[in-house]
Amino acid sequence: MKKVLTLLNLFVLMNGILTFAQTSAAKPKPFKVQQIPGRLECEFYDLGGEGTAYHDTDEINNGSGKLNPVNGNPLNEFRIKEGVDISYTKTDSIDDTPYTKVPIKMNQLYVGWTQPLEWINYTIEVKKSGIYKIGVLYTANGDGAISISLNGKDTTGNMKIISTHDDNDPVAWRQWHHWNSSDNIGTIKLEKGIQVLTLHIVENGNMNLDYLTFTPN
């Protein structure tokens, strides 16, 4: 009987340790605490992996290490072992074409291959409480929508992303490289302090997202 009780106690202890470890692992950690007001770089999402820092429809990074070969270039290998798909702006008539609506810098990392139901966590530090306008630098092969939740609660509702598709571009794959920006796709109320912001892909996907901006309204 003592042996059985000992085994049961050991099981309870180990189960408690495992539960604690799983609970601890379920909390994302900052890759970088991003400052608001300011720019939130989409590639600087939290650490913690699938289901904790992000949810992606597949486990492969379709940019780093796949589209962009492993060759020692840090842009080609950025967060290569994670499921969020990351690439960067390029010359040679890829992102630097007349179909791009706004001036953009080359070699800028962005999140791409987005699909509905995907989400990404970011740790932010809000310097001053208030209402902020949300802007975005993006491409979208078709109209879509994103939303933002804060500490698990939806705070923006669906925010429309206008298509950058251009029938004048004869290169089909380049429809995902027509960059545009908007300085006001929605507003959000933010309280001062450090918190977790979650970006949700709501409708269509087919977007590349470089950064979001948060400016006092």
Q: How do residues 92-145 score in pLDDT, each as one tens digit? A: 999 999 999 999 999 999 999 999 999 999 999 999 999 999 999 999 999 999
Q: Place 4 in a pLDDT band, splitting at 50, 70 and 90.
A: very low
What pLDDT score does 59 carry? 94
The answer to whether the peptide bond before residue 37 is cis (omega within 30 degrees of 0) is: yes
Q: Place 151 in a pLDDT band, splitting at 50, 70 and 90.
A: confident
- The pLDDT of residue 19 is above 70: no
Contacts of 69 (CB under 8 A, 6+ apart): 76
Give the C-alpha separation, 178 to 208, whole Å. Answer: 10
Structure-block tokens of residue 61: 């990074």
What pLDDT score does 17 carry? 41
* Coil, helix or strand at residue 134: strand
Give the C-alpha separation, 30 to 149, whole Å. Answer: 17
- The pLDDT of residue 181 is above 90: yes
pLDDT in tens, 189-205: 999 999 999 999 999 99
- The pLDDT of residue 7 is above 80: no
pTM of the model: 0.87
